[in-house]
Structure 1
């Protein structure tokens, strides 16, 4: 083979040329194609959420309150008092009320559930509740068929003079979360004149006189008079 010529089996391009075969990498001047992401499996369609119906708030409206708290009482004498609350359209709500006092009517705000209490902020009264504190207005389970709620109290004055009673009214509402809320309404203030109970005062004075007479007899005649008196009483009772 003449000098200067490559061997017949030598690869073209010289001894430093790469062997011919599969091209390495992309061709010059060609941008490689971007890889497409593999498709994900189809997911089930989401179920539409059920809309929650908001609970309507309890509506308040103008109503009436009828009470027969006596404006004049006597010390030691218990007065029975009744308080009624109903809608504004109810007529003759004072008919058949328990107690001897005159019926007085007031305007109040009415809701489905009402709470009534009677308090004496300055003291001087013994107040006993004779009915549930919270009641439903328009109670469909009322056996008497009344369209109002009724509260009853037993009030006993303890001291003579002017005194104040308060009728405390509030509304009870239940929210959608079950929490009970109480809304207070303006109180009804009642001035009461408490007079002396002369019958009770006479009995008390008579008891003091008898005690003084017995004490004087024992001091004068000694224990012998007490023994004689006890014997006479026992013979009389036998």
Structure 2
């Protein structure tokens, strides 16, 4: 049976007010009606997960894995997504640290990580001098067409079309400020349709993946297994 293994996790907390203020100002400048969630008075969280399929291997015969942006938005909404995801853990389709977890164990472990989230400033310090590239999953072009920061990103040439995809769904920019990083993260949440288990991926060897490796306190979970011999 194929299933997803979650290897490592990181969570960062922020208040969302800088992003919300920027959204409002851009909306006014663009003369558009506001089409974004009110993040101005609620705690926000972004979570990252290093994950990979149990039957996909890299060139060193180790199970392949990569970092992804898992959830972002108000902390309450992030916990709602965790509860939705718990059914995949209960069914065995997602295995945290390579082990089966019941739904209540999965929710409790994620809640503990979110409550212990690091300040977003730490993530910003680690990525501020590099290019951040986000391949957005479940991109909703109708939402993006009305979102003030996405329109701002398009105007600045930060948006490109994903390979094998008809719509623009890749965002690449250099976060010049914590405000810019908040805006980008919250926009990813706003322009997705929420049907995918993760919101965006970075790819191997990117500056974000390297930053997350450095920021993670624990050692990487080693899960190297010999592949089954092909049937004669």
Q: TM-score, normalised by structure 2?
A: 0.29
Q: Which has the higher strand share?
A: 1
Higher relative helix content: 2
Q: Which has the higher contact order (CA 8 A, sep 6+)?
A: 2
Bigger Rg, structure 1 or 2: 1
TM-score, length of structure 1 as denominator length: 0.29
